[in-house]
Amino acid sequence: MIIRSAEFVKSSAAAGQFPPPDMPEYAFTGRSNVGKSSLINMLTGYKRLAKTSSTPGKTKLVNHFLINDHWYLADLPGYGYARTSRSERKGFGRLIESYLRVRENLLSMFVLVDSRHEPQVSDLAFINSLGYNGVPFAIVFTKSDKLSPALLQRNVADYLKRLEQEWETPPPWFCASVTDRRGREEILGYIEKANIKFTANGN
Ligand code: GTP
Ligand code: MG
């Protein structure tokens, strides 16, 4: 897919503020600092579209971006970051929950996990809750430039094996890196296919 335009639409602190659910939407979520905003910039090719930071907890709101005047990308706040206050963490959780409840135009969630780390309890809990609630999702293994191809392969296999304990069919998954733009074509191809299917279904 060619990205012709990508623009920031708005930041929302509550579900009532989201843009109308009138176009296909994809949301990026994952633990704080996993690389959500960086991935959005890499996919769109706009370096400063989503604000990135080496300080975890940068994205505290739901940020909507409109791509090609045709579909939305939503950057969700990171969960599971220890240095935000407990009440703030609860707030993020509630915002993501209400997001999932009202976003009828969400075609797929992208759950980002750091490819260097073992499955984290908060990620597995989140992934399982998506599965139980029937929310379509894909997994993105981020920062894959930071480890050797062999180790990356092993970590991905271990992660998928862990998910198999709970789910029969593995979710779609991608390895990504913003330094070498790995995963860009694959993720955009997945989005393009979902967009086409959405339109073919009379939407
Ligand atoms: P919050 O909004 O705070 O939850 O963080 P985030 O998930 O949006 O992460 P962000 O994109 O801000 O990236 C966090 C840090 O990781 C930044 O310092 C990025 O430069 C770095 N980073 C993100 N993706 C990659 C990657 O693929 N490779 C490498 N080497 N670094 C990355
Ligand atoms: Mg961010």
**Sheet with 62-67, edge to edge strand ranges:** 6-12, 62-67, 71-75, 25-30, 106-114, 137-142, 173-175
Burial class (CB in 10 A: 0-12, 13-18, 19+), 127: buried
CA 123 to ligand 2 centroid distance, Å: 16
What is the Å distance from ligand 1's center to 182 Cα? 15
Residue with tokens 């789910």: 167
Task: Provide the percentage of residues in the chain whose pLDDT is more than 90.
Answer: 68
Give the per-residue pLDDT at 22.
93
pLDDT band at 82 (very low <50, low <70, confident <90, very high): very low
Q: Judge whether residue 138 has pLDDT over 50.
A: yes
The more confident residue out of 125 and 89 is 125
Provide the residue count of the chain: 203
> Which domains, from first to last, does the chain contain?
6-200 (3.40.50.300)
Ligand 1, pocket-test mutation among 11, 52, 144, 177, most atoms within 8 A of CB? 52
